[in-house]
Amino acid sequence: MNYPILLRGVLTVTRKDMRIYYRKAPVYIFGLLMPAFLFFAFFIGRDLDPAKYFPGFLAMSLFFTSSSVGPIIVPWEKQAGTFERLLSMPVTVTTIILGDMLAGAIFGLLISTIVGVAGIVLLGLSVTNVLLLAVLFLLGNACFAAMGELLSSTGGRTPSNVMMLSSLVRFPLIFISGVFISLSDMTGLGLVTAYFSPLSYLVDGIGATMDQNSVFHWGVDILSLLAFTVLFVFASGRVLRRSLMKGL
Amino acid sequence: MDAIRADNLTKEYGEVVAVDHISFVVQEGEFLGLLGPNGAGKTTTVRMLNGVVEPDAGTVLIMGIDMVKRPLEAKSRIGCIPETGNVYQDLSARENLDLVGRFHGLSRSERESRSGELLTSLGLADRGDDYVRTYSKGMRQRVSVACAMIHRPSILLLDEPTEGLDVQSRRVITDLVKKTNAEGSTIVLTTHNIEEANRLCQRVCIINKGRIAAIEAPEKLRRTYASIQTVEVAFDGKVDVASFAAEHVARAEVFGDKWRFSTDDPDETIKHIMKVAERERLKIVALSTVGPSLEDVFVRLTEEEP
């Protein structure tokens, strides 16, 4: 593998995605409005301790934003007839996946950093481990951007269908991951289910950086997010290679 | 060095064999036309040549580099207009060119100077900063051609680049492609336009049902099939096609104000036409015989291949 060409391809794909897809309506609807609506629906008007639920809300917003860009890219490109040209460039499937994933992660990182800083300042929260929080932000964004890419790779050429599929996957995840019910309050089957969601580890890790009860050691949170990221990237590659010509 | 060497290329989609063990070589600087009816396997062949589709069997060498083993290096030597090769409509022509230039590792100054040069030669200099979505189909295709050429590729793979375009756009594109070939680039052109292939290509490769039916210079192909003759006749009145049915007439078709009869026996065909003219009380205004056109050869080959 020629790594300089690979790296150049990844960065060019990312640049292309940022230039074109950051401005698409579905990204704003599913990446910004949806978490905002959920925030209003579940947190506003209820007598909840904002400090206790902030890690969950921050993780949810990161989860939605970083996974909102990926799902639209491949279907959009197939529908617009640009995907075949992209494939004929000096790129491989790996290049495209990593480039799209990076674009999603940067979008998520930008938005979630704004939400995080604003929340911490407005609520007067203290972060006891800034480095861990930064690592969790980077890993979380990479992980959920990769998940978005996996959803994007499924083969459809209609962005709205893929966004629907992505909602079907994303919504259940936020309900089982300690966003609305703290992981430390979960028991039995609920907690076991939470183990299978990558979002649980992000919620748990962010909670740990704000001195809240965490269920897992932060090392477990980081390793789990890393494992899910690798799994999503690997699965995206397999799925996209199989569905590459679908809809062209 | 061979610019392209395809050995035993095969691609199957389920039960369908799209490309069936084809092999050919394209020399550096050559202009090769790929012809074939719809579904013959031309696009699949081009997709294997440009690395979009991985062959089930066989190899593609681009300037000696294996496309499957070293796709990034091989693709760097190719400029391509794929079958569905739209450019990004949310970007301007210049931004599209810049993007492709980045993929190929051109420096900023190279990207800018080459973009300006191509946009000028394609007649888009004054619209280069407008969004492509505001362009006509012909203008979009010109941008697509420019994108394929920005990095001065050794090989250009063009899959029906002039399909459905107006005469002006077609001419601008073919002129640029010809110029690029004259400067040393190897061209592989897939087209349905046999006249275009005849005019531009040094050799044509006729593909039918996933196999190569013939690969030869257009003139040589015509000579090989010299037995196919065409008789052109103009009558002074209307006549029904059914009147000309005869064993030695392969095809009878109206061509402008004339009838064209493809035959391997012009003598018998002319006698037959005379008889029909006499019976139908038609006056023959003009009559001539011409050798086989590339189209005649194409039809013969694609009809005969199993």
pLDDT tens-place string over residues A124-160:
888 999 999 999 999 999 999 999 999 988 867 888 8
Tell me if B297 is assigned to some domain. Answer: no
More confident residue, B287 or B221: B287
Determine which of B98-102, B120-124, B165-169, B204-208 has the lowest per-residue pLDDT on average.
B165-169
* CB < 8 Å to A84, chain B: 47, 52, 82-85
What letter does residue A33 receive in the DSSP assignment?
Answer: I
Q: Which of A19, A82, A85, A94 to mutate to test the interface with B (most CBs of B within 10 A)?
A: A85
**Residue range A196-219: average pLDDT?**
91
* CB < 8 Å to B72, chain A: 1-2, 5-6, 9, 90-92
Report pLDDT for A104: 95
pLDDT at A60 over 70: yes
Read off the CATH number of the domain in which B238 is found: 3.30.70
Distances from the Cα of B102 to the Cα of B76, B150, B186, angstroms: 11, 10, 22
Alpha carbon distance B34, B204 (integer Å): 6
B295 at interface of A, judged by CB pairs closer than 8 A: no
Residue type, B48: M
In this structure, are B107 and B215 located in the same domain?
A: yes
Tell me if B303 is assigned to some domain. Answer: no
Alpha carbon distance B134, B121 (integer Å): 20
Alpha carbon distance A168, B236 (integer Å): 72
A57 Cβ contact list (under 8 Å, min separation 6): A39, A43, A119, A179
In this structure, are B61 and B202 located in the same domain?
A: yes
Report pLDDT for A20: 95
* CB < 8 Å to A237, chain B: none
Q: Which of A152-166, A182-196, B134-148, B285-299 has the highest mean pLDDT?
A: B134-148
Distances from the Cα of A233 to the Cα of A18, A61, A101, A236, B251, angstroms: 19, 21, 9, 5, 58
In this structure, are B48 and B95 located in the same domain?
A: yes
pLDDT at B30 over 80: yes
Tell me if B304 is assigned to some domain. Answer: no
* CB < 8 Å to A92, chain B: 71-72
Q: Which of A7, A88, A157 to mutate to test the interface with B (most CBs of B within 10 A)?
A: A88
B86 at interface of A, judged by CB pairs closer than 8 A: yes
Q: Which of A151, A144, A186 is nearest to A35 (CA)?
A: A144
In this structure, are B110 and B169 located in the same domain?
A: yes
In this structure, are B6 and B41 located in the same domain?
A: yes
Classify burial at B204, counting beta carbons within 10 Å of its beta carbon; exposed 0-12, middle 13-18, buried 19 or more: buried
* CB < 8 Å to B144, chain A: 85
pLDDT digits (tens, 9 = 90+) for A66-96: 999 989 999 999 999 999 999 999 999 999 9
In this structure, are B270 and B141 located in the same domain?
A: no
Q: Which of B183, B119, B190, B181 is nearest to B157 (CA)?
A: B190
Q: Which of A237, A248, A199 is nearest to A95 (CA)?
A: A237
pLDDT digits (tens, 9 = 90+) for A7-42: 999 999 999 999 999 989 888 888 888 888 888 887
B255 at interface of A, judged by CB pairs closer than 8 A: no
pLDDT at B237 over 90: no
More confident residue, A22 or B194: A22
The tokens describing A181, both together, are 């019910």
In three-state secondary structure terms, A79 is helix
In this structure, are B191 and B248 located in the same domain?
A: no
Q: Which of A84, A96, A243 to mutate to test the interface with B (most CBs of B within 10 A)?
A: A84
Domains: count for chain B: 2
What is the extent of the structural domain holding B270? 229-290
Tell me if B150 is assigned to some domain. Answer: yes
In this structure, are B16 and B162 located in the same domain?
A: yes
In this structure, are B199 and B58 located in the same domain?
A: yes
Distances from the Cα of B181 to the Cα of B105, B185, B189, angstroms: 23, 5, 11
What letter does residue A179 receive in the DSSP assignment?
Answer: S
Report pLDDT for B304: 53
Read off the CATH number of the domain in which B83 is found: 3.40.50.300
Tell me if B306 is assigned to some domain. Answer: no
A7 at interface of B, judged by CB pairs closer than 8 A: no
Confidence of residue A239 (pLDDT cuts 50, 70, 90): very high
Closest CA of chain A from B234, distance in Å: 46
The tokens describing B118, both together, are 């191509």
Confidence of residue A240 (pLDDT cuts 50, 70, 90): very high
Tell me if B20 is assigned to some domain. Answer: yes
Report pLDDT for B46: 94
Q: Taking CB atoms and an 8 Å limit, are B75 and A91 in contact across chains?
A: yes
More confident residue, A247 or A79: A79
Phi then psi for residue B32, to 5 deg, are -110, 135
Q: Taking CB atoms and an 8 Å limit, are B70 and A9 in contact across chains?
A: no
Q: Taking CB atoms and an 8 Å limit, are A19 and B95 in contact across chains?
A: yes
Report pLDDT for A182: 83
A9 at interface of B, judged by CB pairs closer than 8 A: yes
**Residue range A54-60: average pLDDT?**
91
Distance between terminal CA atoms of chain A?
27
Report pLDDT for B53: 93
B74 Cβ contact list (under 8 Å, min separation 6): B51, B60, B62, B63, B65, B66, B67
Domain boundary among B193, B221, B249: B221
Tell me if B269 is assigned to some domain. Answer: yes
In this structure, are B166 and B250 located in the same domain?
A: no
Tell me if B295 is assigned to some domain. Answer: no
**Residue range B275-302: average pLDDT?**
83
pLDDT at B115 over 50: yes
In this structure, are B108 and B184 located in the same domain?
A: yes
Confidence of residue A112 (pLDDT cuts 50, 70, 90): very high
Put simply, the chain B residues between 225 and 254 with a CB less than 8 A from any chain A CB are none
More confident residue, B243 or B73: B73
Report pLDDT for A46: 78
Reduced 3-state DSSP string for chain B: CEEEEEEEEEEEECCEEEEEEEEEEEECCCEEEEECCCCCCHHHHHHHHCCCCCCCEEEEEECCEECCCCHHHHHHCEEEECCCCCCCCCCEHHHHHHHHHHHCCCCHHHHHHHHHHHHHHCCCHHHCCCEHHHCCHHHHHHHHHHHHHCCCCCEEEEECCCCCCCHHHHHHHHHHHHHHHHCCCEEEEECCCHHHHHHHCCEEEEEECCEEEEEECHHHHHHHCCCCEEEEEEECCCCCHHHHCCCCEEEEEEECCEEEEEECCHHHHHHHHHHHHHHCCCCEEEEEEECCCHHHHHHHHHHHCC
> In residues, how long is chain B?
306
- Name B234's bridge partners: B286
B76 at interface of A, judged by CB pairs closer than 8 A: yes
The structure tokens 């790129």 sit at A91
Report pLDDT for B305: 45
Alpha carbon distance A105, B84 (integer Å): 29
In this structure, are B146 and B286 located in the same domain?
A: no
Write down the mean pLDDT value for chain A. 90
